[in-house]
Structure 1
Amino acid sequence: MKDYLEIANSPLIWGAAIPITLLVVIQAIIFLKRAYASAHLVDLSTEDAHRAFKIGAVSAIGPAMGVFVVMLGLMAVIGGPLAWMRLSIIGAAPTELAAASMAAKAMGKELTSPEYGLLDFANATWVMGLNGAAWLLSTALFTHKIEGVTHKISGGDPKKVKILMIAAMCGAFGYLFGNVLKNILDAKTQPIAVAGISSAIAIYFLEKLSKRIPKLGEYNLGIAMLIGMFCAVAFKRLI
């Protein structure tokens, strides 16, 4: 039942999402003003600050495209307001997608399941919100201790920290995709498996190509997801 999308895209939900997103804009303006005001402390001229801002804005386009592609996918399931709001304040597209998927699995359904309904949508709002709240709470309570813990774990080697972070992410998303592959013979999950496999193949070759064209690396996530979506749609229509 897709009737829940009428509520998910209702003016009331938009009204709840817009103020939160506006706070992000206000914070960005405050940070920008303080950065300009503090430029002289590191011997940056106003011209240098303007140039740095332009470089940062341009370099952010690539990662933003990956987030935008994920938002389009989330909008089809959880509606525009929640997807827009979550990715505006968090910006971690894979994390928000994983939270929505886990919320659906907790209800015994898939994120794209035809049975996905209003109760599942409500559950997704809680899971995504609590996930973000946990980040904020952890930041407030443990930021001052992270440096010491990181040093103990890595032995002072930042490369080990990166390896641990990547391993944790691979484990989390590997678990989610593993459940899809486990049921690959099921006609309902086959398009999802095709999307994941084709995206994995695409990202492999895109990473190879981005070594020759470094600027392409910023767009790899978005391109791979588009390829996965296209392959899944093509597979579903052909098979």
Structure 2
Amino acid sequence: MITEVTASAAPSADPNHVLSLANTPVLWICALGVFLVIVIQSVIYMGAARKAAPSVGMSRQELNLSFRTGAIAAIGPSLAVVLVAVALLALFGTPATLVRIGLIGSVQFETAAASIAAGTAGAELGGPSYDQQAFAIMFFAMSLGGAMWMLSTLILTPLMKKGEHRMAKVNPALMTVVPAAALLGAFLSLGFGEVPKSSVHVITLAASAVVMGACLLLAKVPGMGWLREWGLGIAILLGLLAAFLASSAGLGPSA
């Protein structure tokens, strides 16, 4: 009897068990609340733009044209985010994906934060050890990171602006090199951590890197700048295709 109770109380590693927590009504309410705030902000900004337009010499036709141009220009980046979000629905659940990926849009940060947070719980995203506890830790880490971004924008931007002007006088490239180096180191650590697992992991990593590099190079061609936004989604899809082909060829880990 004690064994049965202990087994029933232990968290299940079944992905469906995780999704039952990831899709709870509370998270749906929070997600819809966040999007409601964004809609209200957008309405306020559009109203402010209409009021300010006459003072800068913009006609109503020009203002409407700018709104349409912005809406059309947002389609490409939005579809790129959708491609990534679809691949993460099974891991994060719909509410978390809508808020973290669909709203914030920084899939690089979200996936890195999720992997690191799950690792602290001894779990691997999508693996047998990925349970409700790992999901809660991961979601808290992602949300806390996003909240810090917003707070830093609100509080630290004026202070950093003053410091940036001073540092730019000393070395203008410093403010660009340091953040880029930190991100590069973080993602290289995550990527190369997959290499020892199997040949499929190596092929997937190499294929994704080649595709992403090709997209970034082609984005420099006139008229191909949209690849900067679509590159990540394309790399993920072709990486998954490479993983499927490699696994079908029997290059996966032996049982």
- C-alpha deviation, 1:157, in angstroms: 6.5
- C-alpha deviation, 1:162, in angstroms: 3.1
- Count of aligned pairs between the two proteins: 234
Match of 1:15 among 7, 29, 32: 29
Match of 1:203 among 199, 209, 212: 212
Query: In 2 relative to 1, CA 129–105 (structure 1 residues): closer, same or farther, beyond 3 Å?
Result: same
Match of 1:122 among 136, 139, 142: 136
Question: Greater CA deviation, 195-204 or 159-168?
Answer: 159-168
2:226 equivalent to 1:216: yes
- What TM-score does the superposition give when structure 1 sets the normalisation length? 0.87
Q: Which runs of 5+ in 2 are unaligned?
A: 1-13, 251-255
SS in 2 for 1:154: helix
- C-alpha deviation, 1:50, in angstroms: 1.3
Match of 2:48 among 16, 20, 34: 34
CA contact (8 A) 2:82 2:102 kept: no
Query: In 2 relative to 1, CA 156–75 (structure 1 residues): closer, same or farther, beyond 3 Å?
Result: farther
2:252 equivalent to 1:238: no
Cα distance in 1 between the residues matched to 2:93 and 2:109? 17
Higher radius of gyration, 1 or 2: 2
Q: Which runs of 5+ in 1 are unaligned?
A: none
Map 1:37-186 → 2, pairs under 5 A = 37-155=51-169, 160-181=174-195, 184=196, 186=197
Cα distance in 1 between the residues matched to 2:200 and 2:138? 22
- C-alpha deviation, 1:137, in angstroms: 2.3
Q: Which residue identity is paired with 1:210?
A: A
Q: Which residue identity is paired with 1:216?
A: W
- What TM-score does the superposition give when structure 2 sets the normalisation length? 0.82
Percent identity, please. 32
Q: Which residue identity is paired with 1:50?
A: N
Q: Which residue identity is paired with 2:236?
A: M
Cα distance in 1 between the residues matched to 2:234 and 2:140? 30
- C-alpha deviation, 1:70, in angstroms: 2.0
Could you say what the CA RMSD is over the residues aligned between the two structures, in angstroms? 2.1
